[in-house]
Amino acid sequence: MDFNTDLKEEIAREVARETGIETSARDIEDILAGLQVTSHFWEVVMLARQPFNVVSSAIDFLARKGWVDTQQDGSLALTAAGKKVIEEQGIAPRQDHRCSRCHGRGVSLEKLNDLVARFKEVTARRPEPILQYDQGYVTPETTVSRIALMLDKGDLEGKRLLVLGDDDLVSLAAGLSGFPQEVVVLEIDDRLLDFINEVARKEKLPVVARKYDFRDRLPDEYVGHFDTFITDPPETLDALEICLGRGLTGLSGAGGAGYFGLTHAESSLSKWNRVQQLLVGKFGVVITDIIEDFNHYVNWDYLLPSIKSDLPFVQVEPRSNWYRSAMYRIQVLEKPVAFKNEPAACELYVDEEALIYRATLKAAKGEG
């Protein structure tokens, strides 16, 4: 197969022009590989591992060419002409060889089944995601898989854990596991603060949640206090830098570990590269793990109203947990991390790769 084939290049150029996101012929190929195994837009986004905007723009282009049809119910179908093009280009359907037991995460819940059950019990009445803070939480199995991963790495048992933003309720799963010495949640949403503190009190967990906006300085008593941090940051570059910088500021030095999720749905590979440069260059930490599709998110109510696109194949309710992120683990080396713990004003939620559209976010905040 030849990556330089004119057709894929042409679509990639068109998509890049329309979205402002760097797009290669290979990215188009990944979308066409996905389109051969699912007719559901959100699953194509998941399989192609491309920004949502890139996938919708590419499919819109294919539709205009007559290669893809949108059905009555919003599902996608390759036309005879579309199938012919794909065959000519030699693009194979995406294969799936992920492990069915761990869903590709590599860690097992075998020894933590009781924890999964307890976690579901105590979080049954959890607050639902709201647009204002760009929330969206992971499945209980994902949350406990994070506990398994941290235990496997020696980052949780007997350790001090900082959770920066916690709509996933990792703090409660960690507390319920009985392993960490101390868990501190810093969170902006009062509903979550109240919920976490209430459960922690009732279950006698070593977990405390405090109000915090990560644009503010990390409070002095937490600087250098923790062994491990975990966070699921918004994905503008500014938000990533500040959020990860605060987490690293919380660690006690060399050997401290950080965990965070990064998606493809809202972050192009070009943004991934910039995040990686920040981590290993400026911050001087090492990336020890990148586990694709580790985090599976439960669908949230505000998705369709919050996006800009009104394309009929995009405006369909997701039928599966399509939104995923890779789990990164980073570790601090001897060199001090270069990050100034000072207040930072920045755009947290919206860039050209974000799902949420700026106007809908403003409206949600009453700024519209």
Interacting residues with a second copy (CB under 8 A):
1-4, 22, 24-27, 29-30, 33, 90-92, 94-102, 104-108, 110-112, 148-149, 151-152, 154, 157-160, 179, 181, 227, 252-256, 269-270, 272-273, 276-277, 280-281, 284-292, 326, 331, 333-334
Q: Which is nearer to a second copy, 126 or 264 (CB)?
A: 264
Q: Give 175's DSSP letter.
A: H
Q: Which is nearer to a second copy, 274 or 308 (CB)?
A: 274
Q: Which is nearer to a second copy, 53 or 135 (CB)?
A: 53
Site of tokens 């060419």 = 65
Give the H/E segment covering residue 262. strand 257-262
CB 65, min distance to a second copy, A: 21
Residue 248, exposed/middle/buried by CB under 10 A (0-12, 13-18, 19+)? Answer: buried
Q: Which is nearer to a second copy, 22 or 216 (CB)?
A: 22
Site of tokens 């690293």 = 248
CB 147, min distance to a second copy, A: 9
Which residues, listed in sequence order, are joined to residue 326 by a DSSP beta bridge? Answer: 262
CB 304, min distance to a second copy, A: 29
Tokens of 248: 């690293």
Which residue type sits at 39? S
Q: What string of DSSP letters covers 120-154?
A: HHHTTTPPPP-GGGT--PBPHHHHHHHHHHHHHTT
Burial 6-36, CB ≥16 within 10 A → b, else e:
eebeebbebbbebbebbbbbebbbbbbbbbb
C-alpha dihedral (256, 229, 111, 325), degrees to nearest 10: -120
Q: Which is nearer to a second copy, 8 or 40 (CB)?
A: 8
CB 354, min distance to a second copy, A: 19
Q: How far is it, in rounded angstroms, from Cα 234 to Cα 335?
A: 27
CB 91, min distance to a second copy, A: 7
Q: Which is nearer to a second copy, 127 or 250 (CB)?
A: 250
Using alpha carbons, list the distances in angstroms from residue 47 to 29, 262, 313.
11, 15, 16
Q: Which is nearer to a second copy, 287 or 363 (CB)?
A: 287
Q: Which is nearer to a second copy, 110 or 310 (CB)?
A: 110
CB 291, min distance to a second copy, A: 7
Q: How far is it, in rounded angstroms, from Cα 186 to Cα 189?
A: 10
CB 164, min distance to a second copy, A: 19
CB 13, min distance to a second copy, A: 11
